[in-house]
Amino acid sequence: MSAGLLDAAAGSAAAEAGQAGSRRPALRVAPALAGLFLLFLLLAAIAPDLLSHTDPLAIVPRDAFRPPGWAHPFGTDQSGRDIFARIVHGTRQSLLVGLGATGLAMAAAIGLGLLGGLCGRVAERAVGWLVQVMFSFPVLILALLFAASFGNGIVPLVAATGIGSAPGYARMVFGQVLSVRDAGYVEAARALGHGPLRIVRAHVLPNAMRPLVVTATMGVGHAIMWASALSFLGLGAPPPRPEWGTMLSMGRSFVANAWWLTFFPGLAIVLTMLSTTVLGRALQRRLEGRTA
């Protein structure tokens, strides 16, 4: 009887090992593919002419509404402009908006988190209340309010997306600072006579920033999505400037007859979000000490 139980346990362990082994390649391939796609986006942002020699603003009326083909891999729009060239040249603006908005949101979150966690009970309650109030508003609503107040353009778009994303980051940093400030190593640093700035720089910030780095990696894709949504609503880059959200907005009137006008810009946004999310998850596993 015991031999049978041992055989069953060995068979179960072997099956679990086989399943884990089959999962490992998938977990390794996904971050690699995501990294390759983001490298492609980085190349498109730095040197778009290496990927497309077509002028994204060139109007060719006779080529209007060309479906995807050899001459135009992603087709053309209502003015005969090449969709692939517009997506490639619009990558720089989309990445700048995503990175700029994420950086702005992180800076605001770190400032609020440190203020509320290290400046006494009054500041803690005030920041906690402010974060809760801001967090109760959807990201798009906050971004719409800001964008509608300051108009169109890249800078208002970055500011609107960053301000809209800041409450989520601030809530995370605030919670991390509250949990770190009373840790044993912080108390030991105080007992050794270390000043407040040194404690914040050496102990509080590194431990509070660790989960924020992972969230920010995934947040770049989400910031691009929110910025594209604002551009889709007419609050981003004015047409005919190549920008993914603006391209979606311009192509929605022709979606029944020219599906490629919205499909390929939307695919670029979805793949960017998916890639940043996959890399963020992989980074999270690495920081937590788990291997693929």
Residue 292: inside a domain: no
* Residue 262 pLDDT: 93
* Separation of alpha carbons 92 and 219, rounded Å: 17
Residue 258: inside a domain: yes
Mean pLDDT for 253-263 is 90
Tell me which of 26-30, 83-87, 233-237, 253-257 is least confident.
26-30
Domain residue limits at 246: 32-52+83-287
Residue 276: inside a domain: yes
CATH code of residue 161? 1.10.3720.10
* Residue 17 pLDDT: 45
* Separation of alpha carbons 250 and 90, rounded Å: 14
Mean pLDDT for 31-60 is 91
- Per residue in 201-223, pLDDT (tens digit) is 777 777 777 777 788 888 888 88
> How many separate domains does the chain show?
1
* Residue 12 pLDDT: 47
Which residue's entry shows tokens 């090449």?
82
**pTM, two decimal places:** 0.80
Residue 257: inside a domain: yes
Check residues 212 and 20 and name the one with the higher pLDDT. 212
Residue 59: inside a domain: no
pLDDT at 145 over 60: yes
Mean pLDDT for 42-55 is 91
Residue 254: inside a domain: yes
Check residues 26 and 234 and name the one with the higher pLDDT. 234
* Residue 275 pLDDT: 92
Using CA atoms, how far residue 280 sits from 11, 12, 210, 283, in Å, is: 35, 32, 12, 5
pLDDT at 288 over 80: no
Residue 184: inside a domain: yes
- Per residue in 67-92, pLDDT (tens digit) is 999 989 999 999 999 999 999 999 99
Residue 62: inside a domain: no
Cβ atoms of residues 52 and 19 within 8 Å: no
